[in-house]
Structure 1
Amino acid sequence: MSGPAFVVAVAGPPGSGKTSLAEALSRQLGGAPILSYDAYERITAWPPDRVADWLRRGAPLAEVPLPGLATDLAALKRGESVPDRARGGSLRLPRGEPRVALFDTLLGRAHAGTGCHIDYLIWLDVPFDVALARKLRSFTAEALRDPRAGPPLLASLDAYLGRYEDLLRPTYAIQRQRVRPGADLVLPAAPLADLLAAALPALARVLPAAAAEISR
C-alpha cells in the first residue's frame, strides 16, 4: 500500500508520559514510526538570559529552533523514510495498514511549521507537580542505575531546579495555554494502561483502517 500517513501527535509537559504513550501506541499500530521533537529541539541549549528574553517577548513559538523537524515530518507523512535522529537508523511506515506515523512533541498544533501536518492530537493533561515529580525521578533513576553518574546528574538536577520557577514553569504554562485547546483528545493523569485504553478506541473512530489492528 502507498499514500500519505495519518499523523497522530502526543503532547504534554515534560514528565507527562507522552513518550511512553507514543511507544505503546506504536506497538499497537504495527510498529508505527515515532518522530521525536526532543531529537531536533535546540532551545534547551539557550542560556537562561536568552530564554528569559524570549519569555518577555511573548514566547513566539516560531523562534523555537527545530532544524529539520518540519521537513522530516512532512516527508514521513508523504510515506518517505527519514533519519531516526533519536535512536539511529531510519523511520519508515510499516507495510500495509494502518498507515500511521506518531509524533512525540511539546508544541502540538501551536507550532505552525509542524502543527500543519498533525491529523490527530492527544494532550496529556498532567498537573505540573506530578510532571515535575516524574522528571525528578528520571534523574534519580539514572543515578541509581549507575552510581558513577551521580555527581554529573546531581549538577544537572541542580541546574534544572534552579531554572524551574523563573524559566521552565512559565514555559510549561504557555505550552498548556496554547497547545491544549488544539487537542482532539485530552487525557488526565493516569497509568499507561488506562491512557492506552482511552486512546485506542478514539483512534479507531477517526482512522477506520486502524480498527482491525487495534482490536487484535
Structure 2
Amino acid sequence: MNKPLVIAIAAVSGGGKTTIVQALNNELNFSKSLYFDEYDFDECPDDFFEWVQRGCNYNEWNTEILVNDIKELLSQPNLEYVLLDYPFAYKNDKVASYLDYTIFIETPLDIAMARRILRDRENESIEVLKEDLTYYISKGRIAYLEMLNTIKPNSDFIIDGNLSIDNLITEIVKKIKTLN
C-alpha cells in the first residue's frame, strides 16, 4: 500500500487556500484535510512585520503540532491524499519533509485583501476597517509581497487565482492525478 500524497495549498491571506482545500477534499476520494489557521502554534513570531524585516525565518514557527497530525493521517489505511491549507510551501523544514507537492494560488493582492476584509471584518465599524487598511498599507502588505517573492517560486505548481473555483479545482485535480 502506498502512502498518501501530502499536498499543500499556499496563497496569501484571502487567496483561497481554505476554499480550495475544502473543495478538493469533497472532489477527491479518500482524502483528509488540515487547516493552518485551526492551530495555535506555541512558538511563532509575535510581530509579523518585524519577522519579515528580519528575513522571514520560517523555522521560527514550531509546527510540531501540525506535523503530528500529518503523521497521524499518514498512518491511516486507505487514505490517498492529505490536503494542507498551509501558507509556507517547503519553507518550514519540519513540515517540508512530509510534503509531496505544493500548489500556490496566485491571487491578485486587491482581491485577496477584499476577501479578507469580507471574511474577517463583516460586522466591524468603518473605523476598524480604516485601521485594518492603514495597517495593511504601512506594514501588512510587506508580508503579502514576501509570499509572492518567496513562497510562490518555492511551489511546484502555480495557478491563477482569478479562475473560478470550479476551474481551479478542475486544473488542480488534473495536476494531482498526474502525480500518482
- Specify the alignment match of 1:88 in structure 2: none
Listed as ranges, the gaps of 5+ residues in structure 1 are 80-94, 144-149, 208-216
> Which is greater in Rg?
1
Residue type of the alignment partner of 2:68? T
Preserved contact between residue 32 and residue 100 of structure 1 (Cα < 8 Å): yes
Change (3 A) 1:41 1:109: farther
Decide which of 97, 100, 103 is 1:116's aligned counterpart: 97
RMSD: 2.5
The separation in 2 between residues aligned to 1:129 and 1:65, in whole angstroms, is 30
Shift of 1:9: 1.1
Shift of 1:165: 2.2
Preserved contact between residue 34 and residue 104 of structure 1 (Cα < 8 Å): yes
Listed as ranges, the gaps of 5+ residues in structure 2 are none
User: 2:176 matched to 1:176?
Assistant: no
User: 2:166 matched to 1:204?
Assistant: no
When normalised by structure 1's length, the TM-score is 0.72
Change (3 A) 1:72 1:159: farther
The separation in 2 between residues aligned to 1:16 and 1:31, in whole angstroms, is 25
- Specify the alignment match of 2:73 in structure 1: 76
Change (3 A) 1:124 1:41: farther
Residue type of the alignment partner of 1:28? E
- Specify the alignment match of 2:50 in structure 1: 53
- Specify the alignment match of 1:21 in structure 2: 20
Shift of 1:155: 6.5
When normalised by structure 2's length, the TM-score is 0.85
SS where residue 158 of structure 2 aligns? Answer: strand
Residue type of the alignment partner of 2:22? E
Change (3 A) 1:22 1:161: same
- Identify the structure with the greater helix proportion: 1
SS where residue 90 of structure 2 aligns? Answer: helix
SS where residue 31 of structure 2 aligns? Answer: coil
**Which aligned segments of 4 or more residues in structure 1 are displaced greater than 6 angstroms?**
none
Q: What pairs with 1:43-192 in structure 2 (closer than 5 Å)?
A: 46=46, 50-66=47-63, 68-79=65-76, 96=78, 99-139=80-120, 142-143=122-123, 150=124, 157-189=129-161, 190-192=163-165
Deviation per residue, 1:79-111 (Å, 9 max, x gap): 3xxxxxxxxxxxxxxx64x61110001111111
**How many residues are matched?**
178
The separation in 2 between residues aligned to 1:155 and 1:103, in whole angstroms, is 34
Preserved contact between residue 11 and residue 106 of structure 2 (Cα < 8 Å): yes
Change (3 A) 1:45 1:54: closer
The separation in 1 between residues aligned to 2:109 and 2:65, in whole angstroms, is 30
The separation in 1 between residues aligned to 2:44 and 2:112, in whole angstroms, is 18
